[in-house]
């Protein structure tokens, strides 16, 4: 059944929004349990469709997975019974391609389908493959699959052309059991990669330079299973903070790691937003009417996250004056703009830049989520708009926000799941 959100906007919203565990940290960490036999316990795993898709993929490779509660999993690796990650599961989610590095570390062999995922750009896997070749892996591509095999994984020097998150994670997982030292230059620096590295080090890996663009990985013969708690989701946190700004600070956000949101919080500060952080709780102290226009350029971490580009565009639409966003990460990441314009926004696109002229408020409309973060930006707009909005294709939103409708309902939003035509 296809579902949509029906939102009646303009309602008073106040209360606490709690941030779930990070999807983009949980996925590679769950995949890393392929590397070594044993029993793992992972906590603070978000309850999302992408996680459920990955569970099916890992089970198809031979892992036994038990859900202990809403946010905890026991994963038992008794050895891999299948070395083929098929198209049917991989096409649903790009992160599935990360099984290649983990399978190579465990079995020195893997056959993985080329991936699918959100329609926000090409996101090729060539950087992953070049990295594997540097570790001594022989690769062939045919019929939409990559076959990878190595007699022995050998440490090497790898310089990424671009700090790709997926390539960094895949190469790290392959390198932890390679003989000798691997040096990975121009590595991505996202907090989710740090979390993966800390998890692997807890297993006995020897990774140094965590959080920098130069990672050194001293290969080890054996790793050991462990327990791990996933970090909070910084993109969900950012989305909830934007909601709080839009509703004059009446929403408190719990589960904020300030260090993971540096450039985002700096941009909010530039926009005139005042906030107070105590522990993992953030409170916005300013009013929506205080907002000033701002310029944002998306960049690899620690720059402004591309995943917060569409939510902040919704906020910019309510600031007096003209704001600008330059998107440097994905080529198709303005697909939500026509939908926001349907809701009364004034946004012009020229190549990879968007100019946003502030409007008094949004107007309700029927719109369509083109990807995960676009869906979040439309929901934010619908919460402010007068009247009834319908947001179609919310399966995108369900991929990255846990029970978003239920969380918003709890604090006063009028939002319902309904059956939809598209």
Known binding residues are 23-24, 94, 123-127, 307, 329
Helix (H, G, I), strand (E, B) or coil at 193: helix
Q: What is the DSSP letter of 176?
A: T
Q: Are 63 and 34 in contact (CB under 8 A)?
A: yes
What gap in Å lies between CA 370 and CA 377, rounded to an integer? 11
**CA pair distance 419, 193, nearest whole angstrom:** 38
Q: Which residues are annotated as a binding site for UDP-N-acetyl-alpha-D-glucosamine?
A: 94, 123-127, 307, 329
Q: What angle do CA 309, 312, 314 make, to 5 degrees?
A: 115
DSSP state for residue 231 in the 8-state scheme: P
Alpha-carbon separation of residue 236 from 56, 161, 196, 206, 233 (angstroms)? 24, 29, 19, 31, 5
Residues noted as catalytic: 118
The token pair at 125 is 């896997």
Contacts of residue 270, Cβ cutoff 8 Å, sequence gap at least 6:
292, 294
Residue 392 host element (H or E): strand 388-392
**What tokens appear for 146 in the block?**
């990559």
DSSP state of 258: G
Q: Which two tokens stand for residue 380?
A: 């934010």
DSSP string, 311-348: HHHHHHTTSSSEEEEE--S-TTTTTTHHHHHHTT-EEE
How far apart (Å, rounded) are the C-alpha atoms in residues 403 and 157?
43
Q: Could you say which DSSP state residue 248 is in?
A: T
DSSP 41-85: EEES----HHHHHHHHHHHHTT-EEEEEETTEEEEEES--S--EE
List the beta bridge partners of residue 227. Answer: 41
Q: Which residues are annotated as a binding site for phosphoenolpyruvate?
A: 23-24
Rounded to whole angstroms, the Cα distance separating 91 from 53 reads 10
Give residues with Cβ within 8 angstroms of 142, minimum separation 6.
Answer: none
């Amino acid at each position: 059944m296809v579902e949509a959100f029906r939102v009646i906007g303009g309602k008073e919203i106040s209360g606490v929004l709690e941030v779930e565990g990070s999807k983009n940290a949980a996925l590679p960490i769950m995949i890393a349990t392929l590397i070594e036999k044993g029993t793992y316990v992972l906590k603070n795993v978000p309850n999302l469709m992408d996680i459920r898709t990955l569970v099916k993929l890992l089970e198809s490779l031979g892992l036994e997975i038990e859900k202990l509660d809403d946010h905890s999993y026991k994963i038992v690796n008794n050895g891999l019974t299948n070395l083929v990650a098929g198209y049917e599961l991989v096409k649903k989610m790009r992160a599935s391609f990360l099984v290649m590095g983990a399978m190579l570390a465990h079995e020195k062999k893997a056959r993985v389908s080329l991936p699918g995922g959100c329609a926000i750009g090409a996101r090729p896997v060539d950087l992953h493959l070049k990295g594997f070749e540097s570790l001594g892996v022989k690769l062939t591509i045919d019929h939409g699959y990559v076959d990878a095999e190595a007699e022995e994984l050998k440490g090497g020097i790898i310089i990424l052309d671009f700090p790709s998150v997926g390539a960094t994670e895949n190469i790290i997982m392959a390198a932890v059991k390679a003989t000798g030292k691997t040096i990975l230059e121009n590595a991505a620096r996202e907090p989710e990669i740090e979390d993966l590295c800390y998890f692997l080090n807890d297993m006995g890996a020897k990774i140094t330079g965590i959080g920098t663009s130069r990672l050194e990985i001293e290969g080890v013969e054996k790793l050991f299973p462990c327990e791990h708690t996933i970090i909070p989701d910084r993109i969900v946190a950012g989305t909830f903070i934007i909601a709080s700004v839009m509703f004059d600070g009446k929403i408190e956000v719990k589960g904020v790691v300030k260090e993971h949101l540096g450039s985002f919080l700096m941009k909010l500060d530039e926009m005139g937003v005042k906030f107070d952080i105590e522990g993992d709780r953030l409170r916005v102290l300013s009013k929506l009417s205080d907002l000033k226009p701002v310029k944002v350029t998306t960049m690899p971490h620690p720059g402004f996250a591309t995943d917060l580009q569409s939510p902040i565009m919704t906020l910019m639409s309510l600031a007096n004056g003209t704001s600008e966003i330059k998107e440097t990460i994905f080529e198709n990441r303005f697909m939500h703009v026509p939908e926001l314009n349907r809701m009364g926004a004034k946004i012009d696109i020229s190549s990879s830049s968007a100019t946003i002229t502030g409007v008094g408020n949004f107007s309700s409309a029927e719109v369509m989520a083109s990807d995960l973060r676009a869906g979040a930006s439309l929901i934010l707009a619908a919460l402010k708009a007068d009247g009834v909005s319908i947001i179609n294709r919310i399966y995108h939103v369900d991929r990255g926000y846990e029970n978003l409708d239920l969380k918003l309902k709890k604090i006063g939003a009028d939002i319902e799941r309904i059956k939809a035509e598209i």
